[in-house]
């Protein structure tokens, strides 16, 4: 079967320093992967095409790249699954949100520095266990998903917040932070959670689920971030606008069954955050001036009582 | 076709224009809405309550599903976020009978039980799947020829693909484009159409949130869009309400009207713009509407 690839090229030694696309045509079989195709191009057609790979079996994590605009491992993506139905070529680009070194090779330095920032190692308490530190199975089994991260960077490539802000720790590092924060042998939770509560930490995620969708290992970074948020709040860090937002949201819902998106931000910023409020007020006022909505009071749903009961019952179990 | 209507909080509060437009459009398309069945259903939690207490959020959604089951009608939403949150909750509830039983224990206090038979569906999917694009086409009285619209889905109606059953229904990935083409307009392709509008971090990181608004609206505008169309009222709130802030941040004019899916359909069905409160948007739709009025 004849396959067309459109590959983004970048040569750091070129004079104009801009990337461009190059088309290749290769003969492949039904069972070939995207990586097979790229290697074939490199070996038979164009030896200057640069890419990273090693295991070819979705283990080493070195071949993450964008395939038709979405991050994935080239070695576990079959060509037949990604050939566009309209006959256009398969588009191959380097992973996003990391600087390109050459062609499909990106610089992982920012990835590692964020990883390091969450101190991804066990930090036991003062008193060392006498022998081996045994962790009960039920405390570890739920970490099976998150420890299967192969550090491929697919999630980082497509994270919508990293696209606008380098400062965000990002999905891979935060998922790893969760892994250590939930390890019964780790006793540095207080510092970890305080750090994760800072700007650039758990609250900066916009819950877009891109990381969940592209992760080839089912790590579900976003879900880990949400669990970290819960932990951060449970540990008493309730003074961020993220925590205030979640708390105000829950309170609104508990008391009336629904919520009003135009009223909520006031509570999330915190009543005393005058600066943020001034930035925000125009929406409320503009909204009302445009007659977008009448200045109604927040009413309760007819079954607000039943909803409140559910809140009380489930919250008491926590 | 009759549905138990779940409007969601935003259509009831901050975006009343979405509610009006939905009622108008459904009437012409013959979609009968039971507005009472889910009148007392709670907010889905929008992913936020889930941060605090997942079981609680799942219980509230199970209650909504149980109410829908009681009405004997399929459930219709008009919000991408409601769709996604409900689909995810439904996946957890129906995959694990033990979990469902635990949730039902709480619902029993109110005499309710969720049996697991509900499949919540956004109006967008109902148009594309239940009614069919051909049916929509047959109802159109006014082709929006010469106009260009940029589709903006909202994260929750495109991810995670498993809970939303996108593999079983591959059409869902193109439904918005299909509707735009069916009403006679041209689709503007731009990189952000399935990315995040920035709403969830509106108060947490206003700069990042507004940068997202700026990037998407500018990309669409510069590719010739007359307006952006979205099936998600939360995306609308951010893309419309915070567009002036985004323009200030980007130091340029944007002026891209953000219209709700039913408003777009309604224009092609010949519904008067004021009936769908199109004159009540923050980013004015005046220019768009006057061009529509003089268009042949
Ligand atoms: S869910 Fe959060 S961490 Fe994951 S890609 Fe989106 S913004 Fe990034
Ligand atoms: S979380 Fe998934 S996508 Fe991200 S680095 Fe780990 S394996 Fe790759
Ligand atoms: S080559 Fe090792 S993961 Fe793809």
Please write the tens of the pLDDT for every residue from B86-133: 999 999 999 999 999 999 999 999 999 999 999 999 999 999 999 999
Do B155 and A317 count as a contact with CB atoms less than 8 A apart? no
Interface of B with A in 66-85 (CB under 8 A): none
Among left, alpha and beta (phi > 0; psi -120 to 50; other), residue A102 is beta
Contact A155 CB / ligand 2 (< 6 Å): yes
B243 touches chain A (CB under 8 A): no
pLDDT at residue A138 greater than cutoff 70: yes
The pLDDT confidence band at residue B292, using thresholds 50, 70 and 90, is confident
Lowest mean pLDDT among A86-95, A230-239, A250-259, B39-48: A250-259
Tokens of A99: 């600087």
For CATH 1.20.1050.140, the residue range(s) in chain B are: 2-121
Claim to verify: residue A15 and residue A58 sit in the same structural domain: yes
Tokens of A160: 């919508």
Claim to verify: residue A250 and residue A269 sit in the same structural domain: yes
Claim to verify: residue A117 and residue A218 sit in the same structural domain: yes
Check residue B142 and give its pLDDT. 94
Nearest to B241 among A164, A253, A283 (CB): A283
Residues 6+ apart with CB under 8 A from A219: A145, A146, A148, A149, A155, A175
Task: Fold for B140-294, please state it.
Answer: Rossmann fold (3.40.50)
B236 touches chain A (CB under 8 A): no
For CATH 3.40.50.11810, the residue range(s) in chain B are: 140-294
pLDDT tens-digit map of B76-85? 999 999 999 9
Residues A266 and A279: their CA atoms lie apart, in Å, by 11
B196 touches chain A (CB under 8 A): yes
Residues B155 and B176: their CA atoms lie apart, in Å, by 14
CA distances from B72 to A10, A15, A288, B3, B112 (A): 58, 68, 38, 9, 14
Claim to verify: residue A55 and residue A23 sit in the same structural domain: yes
Claim to verify: residue A113 and residue A230 sit in the same structural domain: yes
CA of A200: which chain B residue's CA is closest?
B205
CA distances from A312 to A243, A254, A307, B47, B121 (A): 20, 9, 9, 19, 30
Number of structural domains found in chain A = 3
Nearest to B200 among A206, A283, A313 (CB): A206
Residues A315 and B108: their CA atoms lie apart, in Å, by 17
Please check whether residue B261 is in contact with residue B123, taking contact to mean a CB–CB distance below 8 angstroms: yes
Q: Which atom of ligand 2 is nearest to the CA of A146?
A: 1
Tokens of B31: 């979609």
- Cβ-based burial of B246 (10 A; exposed 0-12, middle 13-18, buried ≥19): buried
Contacts of B14 in chain A (CB under 8 A): 260-262, 287, 292-293
The pLDDT confidence band at residue A268, using thresholds 50, 70 and 90, is low
Residues B290 and B267: their CA atoms lie apart, in Å, by 12
| Secondary-structure percent of chain A, ordered helix, strand, coil, rounded to 5 | 45, 10, 45
Claim to verify: residue A143 and residue A209 sit in the same structural domain: yes
Which residue is associated with the tokens 């009285």? Answer: B141
Single residue among A218, A234, A250 that ends a domain in this structure: A234
Please check whether residue A307 is in contact with residue B112, taking contact to mean a CB–CB distance below 8 angstroms: no
CA distances from A140 to A16, A20, A151, A215, B145 (A): 52, 47, 20, 21, 59
Average pLDDT of the segment spanning A46-64 = 97
Claim to verify: residue A282 and residue A230 sit in the same structural domain: no
pLDDT tens-digit map of B6-26? 999 888 888 889 999 999 999
Q: What is the CATH number of the domain that holds A18?
A: 3.10.20.30
Contacts of A313 in chain B (CB under 8 A): 106, 109
Check residue A283 and give its pLDDT. 62
Nearest Cα residue to atom 7 of ligand 2? A149
Check residue B77 and give its pLDDT. 98
Average pLDDT of the segment spanning A146-163 = 97
Residues 6+ apart with CB under 8 A from A1: A27, A28, A29, A30, A79
Contact A215 CB / ligand 1 (< 6 Å): no
Distance A56 CA to ligand 3 centre (A): 4
Nearest Cα residue to atom 8 of ligand 2? A152
Task: Fold for B2-121, please state it.
Answer: Glutathione S-transferase Yfyf (Class Pi); Chain A, domain 2 (1.20.1050)
Q: Which ligand is nearest to the CA of A58?
A: 3
Q: Model pTM?
A: 0.92
Beta-sheet pairing, A90-94 with A64-67: antiparallel
Average pLDDT of the segment spanning A69-79 = 97
Residue A73 β-bridge partners = A64
Which residue is associated with the tokens 């081996």? Answer: A132
pLDDT tens-digit map of B128-161? 999 999 999 999 999 999 999 999 999 999 999 9
Claim to verify: residue A55 and residue A84 sit in the same structural domain: yes
Share of chain A above pLDDT 70, in %: 87
Instruction: Give the gyration radius of chain B's Cα atoms.
Output: 19
Claim to verify: residue A115 and residue A230 sit in the same structural domain: yes
Do A307 and B60 count as a contact with CB atoms less than 8 A apart? yes
Residues 6+ apart with CB under 8 A from B242: A283, B198, B202, B209, B210, B213
pLDDT at residue A267 greater than cutoff 80: no
Tokens of B59: 């219980």
Residue A168 φ then ψ, to 5°? -65, 135
Q: Which atom of ligand 3 is nearest to the CA of A52?
A: 1
ipTM: 0.92
Residues B42 and B39: their CA atoms lie apart, in Å, by 9
Check residue A189 and give its pLDDT. 87
3-state DSSP assignment of residue B223: coil
Q: From A84, A85, A235, A63, select the one nearest A154 (Cα to Cα).
A: A63
Which residue is associated with the tokens 């097979």? Answer: A36
The pLDDT confidence band at residue A266, using thresholds 50, 70 and 90, is low
Check residue A241 and give its pLDDT. 86
Lowest mean pLDDT among A21-35, A94-108, A143-157, B43-57: B43-57
Claim to verify: residue A227 and residue A282 sit in the same structural domain: no
Contacts of B55 in chain A (CB under 8 A): 314, 317
The residue segments making up the domain with residue A88 are 2-106
Computed over every residue of chain B, the mean pLDDT equals 95
Contacts of B199 in chain A (CB under 8 A): 206
Single residue among A182, A207, A234 that ends a domain in this structure: A234
Task: Count chain A–chain B contacts defined by CB atoms under 8 A.
Answer: 186
Q: Which atom of ligand 1 is nearest to the CA of A221?
A: 4
Q: Which ligand is nearest to the CA of A222?
A: 1
Contacts of A262 in chain B (CB under 8 A): 13-14
């Amino acid at each position: 079967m004849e396959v067309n690839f459109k590959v983004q090229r970048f040569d750091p030694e070129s004079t104009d320093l801009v990337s461009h696309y190059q088309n290749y045509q290769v003969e492949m079989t039904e069972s070939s992967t995207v990586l097979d195709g790229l290697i074939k191009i490199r070996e038979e057609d164009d030896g200057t095409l640069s890419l990273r790979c090693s295991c070819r079996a979705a283990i080493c994590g070195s071949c993450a790249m964008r395939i038709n605009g979405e991050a994935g491992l080239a070695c576990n993506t079959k060509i037949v699954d990604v050939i566009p139905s309209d006959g256009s070529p398969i588009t191959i680009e380097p992973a996003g949100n990391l600087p390109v070194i050459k062609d499909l090779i990106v610089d992982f330095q920012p990835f590692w520095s964020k990883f390091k920032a969450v101190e991804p190692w066990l930090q036991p308490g003062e008193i060392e266990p006498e022998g081996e530190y045994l962790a009960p199975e039920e405390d570890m089994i739920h970490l099976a998903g998150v420890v299967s991260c192969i550090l491929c960077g697919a999630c980082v490539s497509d994270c919508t917040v990293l696209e606008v802000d380098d400062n965000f720790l990002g999905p891979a590092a935060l998922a790893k932070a969760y892994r250590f924060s939930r390890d019964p042998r780790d006793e540095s939770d207080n510092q970890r959670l305080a750090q994760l509560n800072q700007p650039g930490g758990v609250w900066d995620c916009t819950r877009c689920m891109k990381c969940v969708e592209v992760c080839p290992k089912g790590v579900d970074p976003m879900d880990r971030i949400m669990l970290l948020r819960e932990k951060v709040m449970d540990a008493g860090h309730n003074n961020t606008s993220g925590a205030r937002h979640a708390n105000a949201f829950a309170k609104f819902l508990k008391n009336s069954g629904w919520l009003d998106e135009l009223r909520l931000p006031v509570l999330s910023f915190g009543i005393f955050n005058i600066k943020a409020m001034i930035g925000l007020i125009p929406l409320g006022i503009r909204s009302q001036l445009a007659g977008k909505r009448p200045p109604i009071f927040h009413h309760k749903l007819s079954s607000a009582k039943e909803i409140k009961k559910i809140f009380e019952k489930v919250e008491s179990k926590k | 076709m009759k549905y138990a209507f779940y409007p969601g909080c935003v259509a009831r509060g901050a975006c009343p224009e979405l509610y009006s437009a939905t009622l108008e459009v459904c009437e012409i398309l013959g979609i009968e809405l039971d507005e009472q069945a889910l009148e007392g259903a709670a907010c889905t939690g929008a992913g936020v309550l889930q941060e605090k207490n997942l079981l609680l959020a799942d219980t509230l959604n199970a209650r909504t599903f149980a109410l829908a089951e009681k009405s004997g009608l399929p459930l219709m939403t008009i919000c991408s976020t409601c769709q996604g949150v409900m689909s995810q909750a439904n996946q957890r509830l129906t995959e694990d009978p033990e979990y469902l039983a635990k949730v039902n224990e709480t619902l029993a206090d109110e005499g309710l039980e969720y049996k697991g038979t509900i499949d919540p569906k956004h109006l967008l999917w109902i148009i594309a799947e239940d009614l069919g694009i051909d049916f929509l086409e047959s109802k159109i009285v006014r082709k929006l020829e010469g106009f260009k619209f940029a589709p903006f889905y909202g994260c929750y109606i495109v991810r995670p693909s498993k809970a939303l059953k996108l593999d079983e229904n591959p059409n869902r990935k193109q439904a918005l484009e299909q509707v735009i083409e069916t009403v006679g307009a041209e689709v503007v392709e731009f990189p952000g159409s399935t990315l995040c509008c920035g709403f969830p971090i509106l108060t947490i990181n206003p700069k990042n949130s507004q940068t997202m608004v700026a990037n998407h609206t500018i990309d669409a505008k510069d590719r010739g869009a007359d307006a952006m169309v979205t099936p998600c009222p939360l995306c609308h709130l951010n893309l419309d309400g915070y567009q002036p802030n985004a323009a200030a941040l980007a130091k340029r004019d944007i002026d891209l009207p953000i219209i709700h899916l039913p408003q777009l359909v309604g224009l092609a069905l010949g519904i008067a713009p004021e009936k769908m409160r199109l004159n009540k948007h923050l980013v004015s739709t005046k220019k768009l509407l006057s061009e529509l009025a003089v268009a042949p």
